Chain A
Amino acid sequence: MKRIIIADDSATARMFIRRCLEIIGLGDAEIVEAEHGKEALAAAKEKPTDLLLTDLNMPVMDGETLVKWVKSSPKLCDLPIVVITSAGNPAKEAQLLELGAHQVINKPVSPPVMLAALEQFIKE
């Protein structure tokens, strides 16, 4: 069973992402919800994880810092990260990809967009 962490300070956003995952066929994955980057990082260290979906704009630790931490950790650096944000544009997206994020999706997220972003991940 795949393990997926969703990091977003909004319960509404986490619920939308969870629903999208269910619709695209990842409903049986173990979903771990985190309210900020620090919580997500702790969850990723706790157990092997297959995918990290994170917002950018969060209290305590934002998504950009989370990407930096994960990519600089020898244990976690291979963890695929998809950033789901309302604060993305091509310049920000390029910055995040350079930091090590695998994909950047803009909010509001929809199942077709999520499916396109996670197609490769679902196949594996």
Chain B
Amino acid sequence: MIKHKPLYQAMKDAVSQTLENMVFMEVTEHYDQSYEIPAEELTWAYLVIQDPVQAEVRLALPKTLLEDLTTTVFSLEAEEITQAQMDDILHELLNTITGLFMTRLLEDNQTYKIGLPERGEGELPEVDADSIAWKLMTSDEAPLQIFVAGASLVALSDSAE
């Protein structure tokens, strides 16, 4: 059995620390948990957790927010940023969130293995019984969503919370 800490708190801490440190942004829970980012505005990436559970973490946000983050981080004007830079920031945010999430979730003596972030294509996969969604927003009310999918990881949310 995998010894772990509360899943929700682990993700909340990971997201807050990553966004505050990397893009100087605070997030809170979105006031409308049924809100979906419109497909034409959506950009997302995913990363596979390989061990000790098999799961996927997805980070989704509107393209306009990603453009804002890219101009801030790279100190560039909006017309100067490239798709590669935007993808890179999205991937690094997801990579850092997932690493911190796993570090906070698992006991200190438990190692883990995660894959490399990939750009998501098309619509986000549906949130089913084996998924958890966290719908957040920035202080400017821009939406930002995190999903974890995978029965073995989601099952951990019951045993400690």
Q: Which chain A residues have a beta carbon within 8 Å of chain B's beta carbons?
A: 9-13, 15-16, 57-59, 85-92, 95, 106-108, 110
Residues of A with C-beta under 8 A to B92: 10, 12-13
Interface size class of B (residues with CB under 8 A): 20 to 34
Q: B109 is contacted by which of A12, A57, A85, A91 (Cβ under 8 Å)?
A: A91
24 A-B pairs within 8 Å (CB atoms) are namely A10-B88, A11-B88, A12-B22, A12-B91, A16-B22, A57-B99, A57-B115, A59-B116, A86-B98, A86-B99, A87-B114, A88-B103, A89-B103, A89-B106, A89-B110, A90-B109, A91-B108, A91-B109, A92-B111, A95-B111, A106-B99, A106-B100, A107-B95, A107-B99
Q: B22 is contacted by which of A11, A90, A92, A108 (Cβ under 8 Å)?
A: A108
Q: Which chain B residues have a beta carbon within 8 Å of chain A's beta carbons?
A: 17-18, 21-22, 73-74, 84-85, 88-89, 91-92, 95-96, 98-100, 102-103, 106, 108-116
